[in-house]
A and B are shown apart, each in its own frame.
Chain A
Amino acid sequence: MSVHLLYAFAGAGVFTIGLFGMVFMVHLLRKLLAFNLMGSGTFLVLVGLAQHRNGVDPVPQALVLTGIVVAIAATALALVLIRRYFHLTGQVTLEPGSRDDEGHS
């Protein structure tokens, strides 16, 4: 077992923690952080597993860079939506609240 494989196992663990957060947490920011954890876990697996098999491999490193940018874009979009949602309803979760936004969800 190489040290790279250790990264892959750690990535599997981090991904699972993120998945737990995504399923269990209700606060939108926590869900978003959980999504980012899932992303980091995935990137660890991607690089770790590839380096275990190939040694230093530029392809997964480039993929991770692309993946990070995509994750940043998704995170930023989610933050903008969450902020506007909070601005309009005062809520931080997706549970329908008591405000005037009922009736068409």
Chain B
Amino acid sequence: MRLAAVLVLCAVFAMALVGTVWQIAGQPVGGTLPETVADAMADSGVDHPVTAVLLNFRSYDTLLEIGVLVIAAIAGISMARLPSLEDPELRTHDSLLHALQRWFLPLMWLVAGYLLWAGAVQPGGAFQAGAVLAGTGVLMRLGGMPMNFLQPRLLLRVGLALGFAVFLLVAVVSAAGGDAFLAYPEGMAKPLILLIEIFLTLSIAMVLLSLFVAAPVNDAREPAEGESE
């Protein structure tokens, strides 16, 4: 009964949605943004339009997006088990995995570095590189490497916030000079974008990895207001 009702509702919604897409596709109005982007590429400091949009034209979106990631990480580590991150279930003594790790880890670091560098001219960039780096960390974690820096202490918190902090500092430095918030100083766009991307890569990897590692949960809890402990 409930299934039927939900199905009917979803079918109606799907038809309305397809109709809307059809309508909109039939009569587009307004200018074309891609040409504006192409015209401004020369001033953007990078050669790949997607990277230019992400880290220059719409960098405010990206700044806040990294903020969202940091929030998720904060919520994650706020539930982490404090004394030890060692999860015996995750420990493996598979010699094949260890042997593969020895080959894969440097290779994956190389790939991450390449992805970061490639972002300037072709698809790639900080998030992709950070994701690969985090994947490396997951592999190390599964292989039983302790990785003590992931304990929810100061070092981890610095790592989580580093990329965001660097981005924010770059954003505000030019504002202090009288320019707009998030504007890059004349001719400095390329090195600054690269700097931001390097630190973002590290922090994004840290965020993703800490969310993977912090998953073991503690039993400490705060009683609801008005309940005794």
Q: A-side binding surface: helix, strand, loop or mixed? A: helix
Contact A104 B79 (CB under 8 A): no
Question: Could you mark each residue 67-93 of chain A with 1 if its beta carbon is under 8 Å from any beta carbon of chain B, else 0?
Answer: 001101110110111011001100000
How many angstroms from the CA of A15 to the CA of B3 in the assembled complex? 18
A-B contact count (CB 8 A): 115
Residue from A15, A20, A73, A88 within 8 A of B221 (CB atoms) = A88
Complex interface residues of chain B between 125 and 142 (CB less than 8 A to chain A): 125, 127
Complex interface residues of chain A between 1 and 20 (CB less than 8 A to chain B): 1, 5, 8-9, 12-13, 15-16, 19-20
Residue from B18, B34, B76, B125 within 8 A of A9 (CB atoms) = B18
> How far does the Cβ of A42 sit from chain B's closest Cβ, in whole Å?
11
> How far does the Cβ of B196 sit from chain A's closest Cβ, in whole Å?
15
Contact B21 A57 (CB under 8 A): no
Q: Is B33 an interface residue (CB 8 A)?
A: yes
Contact B13 A19 (CB under 8 A): yes
How many angstroms from the CA of A80 to the CA of B213 in the assembled complex? 11
> How far does the Cβ of B136 sit from chain A's closest Cβ, in whole Å?
17
Q: Is B75 an interface residue (CB 8 A)?
A: yes
Q: Which residue of B lies closest to A15 (CB)?
A: B17
Q: How many residues of A contact B (CB 8 A)?
A: 42
Contact A69 B50 (CB under 8 A): no
Q: Which residue of B lies closest to A81 (CB)?
A: B75
By a CB distance below 8 angstroms, the chain A residues around B3 are 24
How many angstroms from the CA of A76 to the CA of B54 in the assembled complex? 22
How many angstroms from the CA of A13 to the CA of B18 in the assembled complex? 8
How many angstroms from the CA of A1 to the CA of B22 in the assembled complex? 10
Q: Is B7 an interface residue (CB 8 A)?
A: yes
Contact A104 B14 (CB under 8 A): no
* Contacts known (A12-B14, A53-B25, A58-B34); A20 close to B211, Cβ less than 8 A: no
> How far does the Cβ of A69 sit from chain B's closest Cβ, in whole Å?
5
Contact B68 A62 (CB under 8 A): no
Q: How many residues of B contact A (CB 8 A)?
A: 46
Q: B-side binding surface: helix, strand, loop or mixed? A: helix
> How far does the Cβ of B47 sit from chain A's closest Cβ, in whole Å?
12
Q: Which residue of A lies closest to B30 (CB)?
A: A53
By a CB distance below 8 angstroms, the chain A residues around B21 are 5, 8-9, 12, 45, 49
Contact B34 A5 (CB under 8 A): no
Q: Is B118 an interface residue (CB 8 A)?
A: no
Complex interface residues of chain A between 41 and 61 (CB less than 8 A to chain B): 45, 49, 52-59, 61
By a CB distance below 8 angstroms, the chain B residues around A94 are none
Residue from A52, A65, A72 within 8 A of B25 (CB atoms) = A52
Contact A62 B6 (CB under 8 A): no
Contact B34 A84 (CB under 8 A): no
Complex interface residues of chain B between 18 and 36 (CB less than 8 A to chain A): 18, 21, 24-25, 28, 32-34
By a CB distance below 8 angstroms, the chain A residues around B227 are 104
Return the 4 tightest CB-CB contacts between A and B, nearest first: A58-B49, A62-B53, A73-B72, A16-B14
Interface residues of A (CB under 8 A from B): 1, 5, 8-9, 12-13, 15-16, 19-20, 23-24, 45, 49, 52-59, 61-63, 65-66, 69-70, 72-74, 76-77, 79-81, 83-84, 87-88, 104
